[in-house]
Structure 1
Amino acid sequence: MDSPQQIAGTDTNEQFRPEEPYKVEEGVQNGEQKGEQNGVQQEENGVQEEKVQQEAEVQEDGQQNGHSKPDQQSHTQQSQPQPHHHHHHHHLRLPFHHHQLTPEEQAAKVEELRAAIGPVEGAIALFCTDACLRRYLRARSWHMKKAEKMLQDSIAWRRAFQPERIRWADVAKESETGKVYRAPFTDKFGRPVLVLCPGKQNTEDHEGNIRHMVYCMENAVASLPEGMEQMVWIIDYKAFTLRKSPPMKTSREVLHILQNHYPERLGAAILFDPPYLFQGLWKVIRPFIDPVTFQKIKFVYRKSAPSLKVMEELFDTSQLDASLGGTGDNFVYDHAAYSSRMEAEDARNAKVWALDGLKEALNGASNGAGIAPAV
């Protein structure tokens, strides 16, 4: 059976059809019905030949490398977690892209990248774990110069933006409507789930929106189980209108930050029930989505049973909200209760990022994994 990432959503006549813009670009008439259902997947498969070839190659390697020891923090173990308590879903496998490098070759690349960026200290030293450097290398197909450029840009961004210092009190106003929250459930792999609700957009403060989204990303990363690297996004378009949608400038910057400063962090992005009016926004934002991120985007529609299989593959439907295609209770956002939860997690995460005793702690850990979240 196909992996979750290979299952394309199927639309209904009332919904935005993401394949139509591609057909126009390819010179195919909009009215042509044949092959429409597979339009998105065909675009994904052709958008980056090398990436697809890597995924095909590593399907074999995954069976050989799946026995890695936990303390090795191998990429195979991190990017191919087994579903939690769902052994009958053993066919679900997350793709990984180690580019056919042996663990020794990967380790050598990590050390080369570490030497290239030079000495770092403080929060940046906590950020630059071996696992972090591997993600940047994977994101650039183990091309050293490209990975170094990407990582140096992220280091500069983190020094200026200081995402680890953002606290709930700084962004609570942005979250009063529950426009972004971490779901009370994970996917079948144990990955945290961020639910984004554009229909609940409540401010036009660009900087406030960006800081809020970065806070949510950092919080989700800090919540990752040991050895886990990725999260899942569900973008719920209920009550979405153009008037309520985030400003395009904000959407583009969020996309830029996600792709360039949180590489290999997104496992899947579910666009749930986007209305037809979303088409205009999609055409504008689509060119800014890199091929790797694009492959992780799935359009899912409530009225389409084949489409909903994406949700069944990724989530325990008994935990998933009925409004999102599951059978669980619909999550009701309670700002006071959620604030208490975030404040408690802030206190925990502040200790993780504390700089007291940093030198001693780093000397006692091979890659910082014991004292810092896997960021």
Structure 2
Amino acid sequence: MDLNPKYDDYDFPYTAAEKQDGHAGHLTEQQIALVHQLRMMLEAEGFTKRLDTLTLLRFLRARKWDVNLSKRMFVDCEKWREETKLDETVPAWDYPEKGDIQQYYQQFYHKTDKDGRPIYIETLGGIDLTAMYKITTAERMLTNLAVEYERLADPRLPACSRKANNLLETCCTIMDLKGVTLTKVPSVYSYVRQASVVSQNYYPERLGKLYLINAPWGFSTVWSVVKGWLDPVTVSKINILGSGYQSEILKQIPAENLPKAFGGTCECEGGCENSDAGPWHEAEWAKPAKWETKKGDDAAIENKGSSIETPEVTTGVETAEAPEKSEAKVEDKAAA
């Protein structure tokens, strides 16, 4: 690991706990050289943001250390960020329709797994795009997805890294397929397909473990399609479980951190899906995100911006094919 003082301004641990090839703190001289090469190539084209070592490593790993492919992926991501005005949107984003959307589709972060990673939960069985698009738009749903990825990167993962005392860059994801029948598959697939483009192309290397629970009869057919979107390394992180999933998930997630609805013992006041409980809200570990407009000494995530008009997504998420396979959050997903 060769830190660059111009870009590597980390206020959290930046060495991975386990020795993994190509991960921070466990790099070869050749890999370090490739980081420098990618950064110089991007600087030569005028890029000045997100050139820190950890970010560049994620793009390099996603493209198997091919510098030219990694550069293309990074440039495409920056173009998308500019087109969607994402940097301006994140601090001001408000999603007041979330409560109404939750009756069809829940997405939330909740505490951490045994490795200290944020737990992310999605429920897909209630997805009804016709009803959901009467409440919001596809563009706003995808913008909210991107904003949550940004808030995962900062402040969630840095807070978890501080608490674990080692670098954490990925999530432990639970996707609940209960209620996903064959008649609902086209609707679920439609949204998941759009979301996976965002996840794969713009947020690589964010999946740690994925548990697909309550997998319905016939799911193997759907899975055969989903697997085609993903890198084999990603596929190895995915566990497909039926209705008797609890014992397997509890090997990775403490019962007190898992919502009772999913076999754990946690019952947050107001519902686990609304609590956003985790180290990112604990004073000992939380710090304001770099994108956040600070208010007093509050170090927790703030999501109090007024409703804004979101620029139309122009990246072809409706129909575009991902240029190369990379790690996706099949959730967002399945999705991603």
TM-score relative to the length of structure 1: 0.58
Give the aligned CA root-mean-square deviation in angstroms. 3.9
- Partners of 1:97 and 1:125 in 2: CA distance: 27
* Corresponding residue number in structure 2 for 1:188: 114
Gaps spanning 5+ residues in structure 1: where?
A: 1-64, 82-92, 355-375
> Counterpart amino acid of 1:221?
A
* Corresponding residue number in structure 1 for 2:178: 238
SS of the counterpart of 1:255? Answer: helix
* C-alpha deviation, 1:253, in angstroms: 2.3
Contact 1:319 1:328 in 2 (8 A): yes
* Corresponding residue number in structure 2 for 1:84: none
* Corresponding residue number in structure 2 for 1:141: 64
2:281 aligned with 1:320, yes or no? no
* C-alpha deviation, 1:118, in angstroms: 2.5
Contact 1:196 1:236 in 2 (8 A): yes
Contact 2:108 2:274 in 1 (8 A): no
* Corresponding residue number in structure 2 for 1:255: 196
2:138 aligned with 1:206, yes or no? yes
SS of the counterpart of 1:141? Answer: coil
- Partners of 1:120 and 1:200 in 2: CA distance: 45
* C-alpha deviation, 1:288, in angstroms: 2.0
- Partners of 1:148 and 1:119 in 2: CA distance: 12
> Closer, same or farther in 2 for the Cα pair 1:115/1:180, shift >3 Å?
farther
SS of the counterpart of 1:232? Answer: strand
Greater share of residues in helix: 1
2:21 aligned with 1:97, yes or no? yes
* Corresponding residue number in structure 2 for 1:159: 82
* C-alpha deviation, 1:281, in angstroms: 3.6
2:39 aligned with 1:107, yes or no? no
> Counterpart amino acid of 1:228?
L
- Partners of 1:250 and 1:259 in 2: CA distance: 14
> Closer, same or farther in 2 for the Cα pair 1:174/1:130, shift >3 Å?
same
Contact 1:200 1:244 in 2 (8 A): no
> Counterpart amino acid of 1:282?
W
Contact 2:91 2:291 in 1 (8 A): no
> Closer, same or farther in 2 for the Cα pair 1:294/1:188, shift >3 Å?
same
- Partners of 1:170 and 1:302 in 2: CA distance: 35
- Partners of 1:251 and 1:261 in 2: CA distance: 15
Contact 2:122 2:174 in 1 (8 A): yes
Contact 1:199 1:238 in 2 (8 A): yes
Deviations 1:201-241 (A, max 9, x none): 36143222212222222222221124321122211223444
* C-alpha deviation, 1:267, in angstroms: 0.8
> Closer, same or farther in 2 for the Cα pair 1:144/1:285, shift >3 Å?
same
> Closer, same or farther in 2 for the Cα pair 1:188/1:200, shift >3 Å?
same
* Corresponding residue number in structure 1 for 2:100: 176
TM-score relative to the length of structure 2: 0.64
> Closer, same or farther in 2 for the Cα pair 1:187/1:260, shift >3 Å?
same
* C-alpha deviation, 1:315, in angstroms: 0.9
Where in structure 2 are the equivalents of 1:355-370 lying within 5 Å?
Answer: none
* C-alpha deviation, 1:245, in angstroms: 7.2
Q: Which has the larger radius of gyration?
A: 1
Aligned residues: 261
- Partners of 2:265 and 2:39 in 1: CA distance: 47
Give 1:117's match in structure 2, choosing from 38, 42, 45: 42
SS of the counterpart of 1:158? Answer: helix
Contact 2:256 2:266 in 1 (8 A): yes
- Partners of 2:68 and 2:76 in 1: CA distance: 12
